[in-house]
Amino acid sequence: MNLSELRENYTHGGISKADFSSNPFAQLAEWLQLARDQKIKDSNAMTVATANKEGLVTSRTLLLKGIVDEKLQFFTNYNSQKARDLAENPHASMTILWKELERQICIRGTVKKTSRGISEEYFKTRPYDSQIGAWVSESQSAGIANRASLESRKAEFEAQFPNKNEVPCPDFWGGYELTPTHIEFWQGREGRLHDRLCYLSSETGWTLDRLSP
């Protein structure tokens, strides 16, 4: 396979500062809504990158689950690699890519846990299988003997919590919220002369600048 030969030409058009909101979160909501309207599968999927205190970076795909008070929320296991990274280094980045729209959003900021109340309220909205799955994977990212051990734990917790309304939110599971300092909107253009419009946070508010492709 010759990967150097793989390329696409971007033809969907450009983006202009004049058409962008002064509020980056309003602009983010607009792009997210368009992706949803276009029925893009997992339109709220994002790559979240974290680093530990040594600077070793790890990335994975998660789902953006809320934009509240200018903070971006996601939920996960507090025993996971990402949680251990964030305990040592609260800085993280998010990238949302919609290949169908030839667009992506790159976000940087600092992360902290949500309140316990927010975690519990969100947990109640999850499907039953996902609630049970959270209990099964208590030590996320840790090695396991085999698939059968997971199925066995799943059966144990299904017996312990047979009904959706009876499944409590585990203490080791909950939410995080990222407060952005940098939100970049990217639109692919022909000839790789892409459009990049970047909001930067300051003490006086947000500024919007065009970046070189």
Q: Which residues are catalytic?
A: 192
Q: What one-character-per-residue DSSP string does the chain give?
A: --GGG------S----GGGS-SSHHHHHHHHHHHHHHTT-TTTTEEEEEEE-TT--EEEEEEE--EEETTEEEEEEETTSHHHHHHHH--EEEEEEEEGGGTEEEEEEEEEEEPPHHHHHHHHHHS-HHHHHHHHHTTTTTS--S-HHHHHHHHHHHHHHS-SGGG-PPPTTEEEEEEEEEEEEEEE--GGG--EEEEEEEETTEEEEEEE--
Closest of 27, 5, 205 to residue 103, by C-alpha: 27
Closest of 14, 30, 198, 27 to residue 102, by C-alpha: 14
